[in-house]
Structure 1
């Protein structure tokens, strides 16, 4: 990945500011895709249930990945935030991923799906909103029977794909704000 691109990710204090809270901290950084062992039913909703998994990105020519997982302490107002930048081989390959993702996300709109981790009860989720618009798409996923929800955002700038996911009980547009700030930094670094 071009020098400094990974530094376009947001710092915890910036994420805390977006959420209007304190205590969200980096719990992991990563440079490779997750090997998802959870069973997703239907499997076609893997792109929504775990957007950074090997299964989702296996047919795409990506070259580099820089990501952070941030979380707040458990409790009534706990938050989970994922932010990632993928460097792809070309702008055309990045657009290919956006087109593929839009089709996969649209498939899951309005369809309940389950996520079953080994040794745990299935969690039923539903994508209740999907909005593709130009080089950005957003989705809202809820966990059935709770107020817990996640906003997913995937956007593109040149040969980069930016992912942001924000989960909690008070989610509105936080993932979109995270993604917008990352893209702004990428533009500064690339001079676009």
Structure 2
């Protein structure tokens, strides 16, 4: 069985300085449209949060599969801080983790996992959307996460039981076609025959979107998923 970043537990349950000022901020020298009051996008609410998630047809299309199915669809976070070899890198190897989002002011979460049925699946995707009271809170989480991911780059992070280990790559900071900041990092599972993942994070209005895309040939799929989630916010 090829575990994904959550190592398939049973509970499916920046290097960038970004300043929100006026309607423009900067990420690594690139202009980014701010959102919310005074910007181009409306403030999102709990009802709109689920709209950011891609449906199974869209996921299959991006992953080049026809057989992926939704394996988990929840509105709560999990906590696997006791199972990783370096808890400081929890946010770099897991999505929708309570300790990672603690003290960020988040108010709602939607988390969806998709894969082909059976143990020998060829693709695995997790997409997460998290709501905050204001755009500045979402932006602060993005900035904090960029620092965390950078600190964990080029390290091997495993489970405390020694069953699985992931080699994390460098981070990359970019922007989506719509101008939203985009953070990505590659990971490869040790001794897995080439099972690899891309982790992506972006921010839109008062929400963050996070995606994991895993398979044997991964080339930007998580970034594509995150960008598509951002696009669903409007206007």
User: TM-score, with normalisation over the residues of structure 2?
Assistant: 0.74
1:18: which partner in 2?
62
Gaps of 5+ in 1: none
Alpha carbons 1:26, 1:70 under 8 Å: kept: yes
Query: Larger strand proportion, structure 1 or 2?
Result: 1
**Structure number with bigger Rg:** 2
Aligned CA distance change for structure 1 residues 93 and 4 (closer, same or farther; 3 Å): closer
Structure 2 gaps of 5+ residues are 1-44, 176-180
How far off is 1:3 after superposition? 2.7
TM-score, structure 1 as length reference: 0.89
> Residues 2-46 of structure 1, C-alpha deviation per residue, up to 9 Å, x if partnerless?
433312211111111111111111111111111226521122111
Number of residue equivalences: 185
1:95 aligns with 2:136: no
SS of the equivalent of 1:3 reads helix
Is the aligned partner of 1:182 residue 2:234? no
The match for 2:191 is: 145
Shift of 1:121: 3.8
2:172 is matched with which residue? Answer: 131
Give, in whole Å, the separation in 2 of the partners of 1:84 and 1:111: 24
CA contact (8 A) 2:198 2:213 kept: yes
Q: Helix, strand or coil: the match of 1:132?
A: strand
Question: Of Structure 1 and Structure 2, which has the larger fraction of its residues in helix?
Answer: 1
